[in-house]
Amino acid sequence: MNKNEDRVIVAGAGPVGLVAAVSLVEAGIPVTILEASSDLAVDLRASTFHPPTLDYLEKLGLADGLIERGIKCPYWQFRDRKDGEVATFDLGLLKNETAHPYRLQAEQWKLTEAARKRLDEDPTATLITDITVSSVVQDADGVNVTAKRNDGSDEVFRCAYLIGADGARSVVRKETGVNFPGLTIPEIFLSLSTPFRYDQAIEGLADICYISDPEEWFVLLRTPTLWRVLFPTDPTLSDEAILDPARIEERMQSVLPGAPYEIAHKTAYRVHERVADAYVHGRIFLAGDAAHLNNPLGGMGMNGGIHDAVNLADKLTQVWSGGDIDLMGRYERQRRKVAIETVQAQALRNRAILNETDPAKRAAYHNELRATVDDPAKHLAYVMKSSMIQSLRDLEAVA
């Protein structure tokens, strides 16, 4: 092997790229990560880690610090804005299925920070920031990755394999010509964070709540320092109108009337439901948001991406040690199936339940959720699915 080809390049130092990098380095494979930003993102994005994700992170030595810095949430709820609790799901039922029978509420940057620390300590890992992958060309032996420095100069890196973990607008995906079909959800999601303690103000409130309402559903999520409130918002409004402080205050008052709310962060973002037609393109592989996007209801986007990273690294390690590159086809078959049949299907169903305006259909959804938690076998099956454990078990059967 040419000395420039003795490594894997990862485009993008988000949670998915960094978990892939740590997994490869753990397997003795040298990695270079190219990151466009000058530092890792520390904004408030995903904040839920599901049980099997924590099981994976534990194997990589990344779970302990994260768990210490997060909140363990063994329960999550569906509620109705007027009637209160509809169903409370108990992740404690998963105690025989996972070492982490709870959702961990922790900001995703706490994971990327821990992963970077791990990579900094390893001489076979190199993280280069302020460098943007701009084009990709592969041949029979490797991949040439051209990246632009901040001063406008180009640099060409050579690697044996390239992982495109460069997020929703992935240049790597575009360079491979792989299609990214799907739809854009007809609403903008407004995410607001406040130090207000909803847990102290609403009796029986779980730390993760999906609250349905025929006029305006919303989500309440606790993080270690703040509560997040997520609202769907009319996409025809300008960002300025959506983020207008008076309108935000009105919406916060509609959740719980009281003193004016302190807003620590606010973001409005468009949500897509898309899955790439292919995850494997010769020596180039896609993972995470570069490969699939979904709405955040259920917290499965980042978690699914981390599951991609672990699966991909496992197969690539076998290829690196002499296995046939066709092994990577199984990565694509397994993880595309999960993205379409589990993540998208569940996220769309969660949205449908919250969005439902027909009173009879709303009542039917709510009755179904109540019946599910009242039946131990159905309750266990539901949390196996919503915690993403079932998707990982099912993919073993995918050849």
Ligand X SMILES: Cc1cc2nc3c(=O)[nH]c(=O)nc-3n(C[C@H](O)[C@H](O)[C@H](O)COP(=O)(O)OP(=O)(O)OC[C@H]3O[C@@H](n4cnc5c(N)ncnc54)[C@H](O)[C@@H]3O)c2cc1C
Per CB under 6 A, contacts with ligand X among 262-281 are 267, 269
- From start to end of the chain, where are the E strands? 8-11, 31-34, 48-49, 71-73, 75-80, 84-90, 103-105, 125-128, 131-138, 143-149, 154-159, 161-164, 182-194, 208-212, 218-222, 227-233, 265-275, 280-281, 284-286, 292-293
Angle at 125 between CA 121 and CA 128, to 5 degrees: 105
Alpha-carbon distance of 235 to 268, in angstroms, equals 10
CB under 6 A: which stretch of 51-59, 70-78, 136-144, 166-174 binds ligand X?
Answer: 166-174
Nearer to ligand X, 302 or 328 (CB): 302
Q: Count residues near ligand X (CB under 6 A).
A: 31
Query: Should residue 114 be labelled a site residue for ligand X when binding is judged by CB under 6 A?
Result: no
Nearer to ligand X, 16 or 206 (CB): 16
- From start to end of 43-110, where are the E strands? 48-49, 71-73, 75-80, 84-90, 103-105
Per CB under 6 A, contacts with ligand X among 343-372 are none
Nearer to ligand X, 46 or 392 (CB): 46
Query: Should residue 171 be labelled a site residue for ligand X when binding is judged by CB under 6 A?
Result: yes
Per CB under 6 A, contacts with ligand X among 13-72 are 13-17, 34-37, 41, 45-46
CB under 6 A: which stretch of 65-73, 117-125, 136-144, 294-302 binds ligand X?
Answer: 294-302
Nearer to ligand X, 12 or 101 (CB): 12
Nearer to ligand X, 108 or 344 (CB): 108
Q: Where are the alpha helices (DSSP H) in 128-279?
A: 171-176, 198-201, 239-242, 245-255
Q: How far is the CB of 307 from ligand X (least distance, A)?
A: 11
Nearer to ligand X, 109 or 366 (CB): 109
**Given the structure tokens 């998963």, which residue do they identify?**
94
Nearer to ligand X, 232 or 299 (CB): 299
HSE of 161, CA atoms in CB hemisphere, 13 A: 24
Query: Should residue 119 be labelled a site residue for ligand X when binding is judged by CB under 6 A?
Result: no
Query: Should residue 184 be labelled a site residue for ligand X when binding is judged by CB under 6 A?
Result: no
Nearer to ligand X, 19 or 395 (CB): 19
Per CB under 6 A, contacts with ligand X among 188-227 are 191
Q: How far is the CB of 287 from ligand X (least distance, A)?
A: 7
**Given the structure tokens 């992982």, which residue do they identify?**
163
Query: Should residue 301 be labelled a site residue for ligand X when binding is judged by CB under 6 A?
Result: yes
Asked if 368 and 356 touch (Cβ cutoff 8 Å), the reply is: no
* Inter-axis angle of helices 15-26 and 108-120, nearest 10: 30
Q: How far is the CB of 129 from ligand X (least distance, A)?
A: 9
Partners of 49 in beta bridges: 104
Residue type, 196: F
CB under 6 A: which stretch of 201-209, 238-246, 298-306, 345-353 binds ligand X?
Answer: 298-306
> Site for ligand X (CB under 6 A): which residue of 107, 273, 289, 356?
289
Query: Should residue 133 be labelled a site residue for ligand X when binding is judged by CB under 6 A?
Result: yes
> Site for ligand X (CB under 6 A): which residue of 110, 305, 338, 346?
305
Of 279, 323, 309, the closest CA to residue 25 belongs to 309
Alpha-carbon distance of 131 to 133, in angstroms, equals 7
Alpha-carbon distance of 223 to 132, in angstroms, equals 31
Q: How far is the CB of 330 from ligand X (least distance, A)?
A: 21
Q: How far is the CB of 301 from ligand X (least distance, A)?
A: 3
Category of 388 on φ-ψ map: left (φ > 0), alpha (ψ -120 to 50) or beta: left
Alpha-carbon distance of 367 to 372, in angstroms, equals 8
Nearer to ligand X, 189 or 196 (CB): 189
CB under 6 A: which stretch of 6-14, 80-88, 253-261, 274-282 binds ligand X?
Answer: 6-14
Q: How far is the CB of 389 from ligand X (least distance, A)?
A: 17
Pairing mode, if any, of strands 75-80 and 84-90?
antiparallel
Alpha-carbon distance of 284 to 8, in angstroms, equals 10
Which pair of structure tokens corresponds to residue 237? Answer: 């409004």
Nearer to ligand X, 14 or 52 (CB): 14
Binding site residues, ligand X, CB under 6 A: 11-17, 34-37, 41, 45-46, 108, 132-133, 165-167, 171, 191, 267, 269, 288-289, 296, 299, 301-302, 305
